[in-house]
Amino acid sequence: MKIAIVKKSIITRICAICLTFLFASAVVFSADKATFANAVQRKIPVYKVDTPDKIVSLTFDAAWGADKTLAILDILDQYDIKATFFLVGFWVDNFNDMVKQIDARGHEIGTHSETHPHMPKLSQQQMKDELYISSQKITDITGKKTELFRPPFGDYNNTLVSVCEQMDIIPIQWDVDSLDWKGLSASQIHDRVAKKVTNGSIVLFHNNSDNIVEALPLVIQTLQLKKFSFAPVGKIVYKNNYFVDNNGVQHKKETQQGDIL
């Protein structure tokens, strides 16, 4: 009788251990499944564009200072290249004439927010205000709709991307960072950019970084030797019927028959 009780106790313990293991496994599986679902649902800006063409976009963020902007514009003119400038609202206030110059020389202008905040820290309404106020300032000068936005610090979340979608603005990041703001030499900037650019790349520069004027011609010359052409971001991104994969690459959607929409 005693032996039977002991056996029953052992069996009970084994069952309890098995049940505990199964429960823990279910919890882990559920957590993994939730994590996967969240990853799939994550909204991502455009970092680069999926294209067979050897084409690249040069972009310049402008928030503080404008001393080198005219020189940048002259270099772009020299090589007959059109670029995209992302402007902060208070920069537009301080450098109205420069905004007019950028537009007059045929370059594209997007917003870089109104006050250059960490956007994910804002409420949804504050995000909308940052985009609307800065975009309207640009439109008031150029007469053109602002269609692109670059998040300050490259900082974003699902809410911000959703706000952009609601406002018919495409959020733009970059896949090639020149790191010019770190005070790199012209040759260091050149080397970073030249080796990283691929079809559909979006390159990040800053309009007032230390060695941008010296580096820009070197970058352009090397990319031209590699047979790349240049266009503003708005000319290479898909404006509709697209999706952005988990790596930030924008793709054109296809029909079931395989045709591009």
Q: Name the H helices within the chain.
A: 2-41, 69-78, 89-94, 96-104, 124-142, 158-166, 186-196, 212-225, 233-236
Determine whether 206 is an active site residue: yes
In 3D space, the residue among 111, 98, 44 whose CA is nearest the CA of residue 72 turns out to be: 98
- Pick the catalytic residue from 32, 61, 210, 251: 61
- Angstrom distance (rounded) from CA 49 to CA 138: 25
Determine whether 107 is an active site residue: no
In sequence order, the 6+-apart residues with CB closer than 8 A to the CB of 102 are 69, 73, 85, 109
- Pick the catalytic residue from 175, 190, 206, 251: 206
- Angstrom distance (rounded) from CA 119 to CA 103: 26
In sequence order, the 6+-apart residues with CB closer than 8 A to the CB of 1 are none
State the catalytic residues: 61, 206
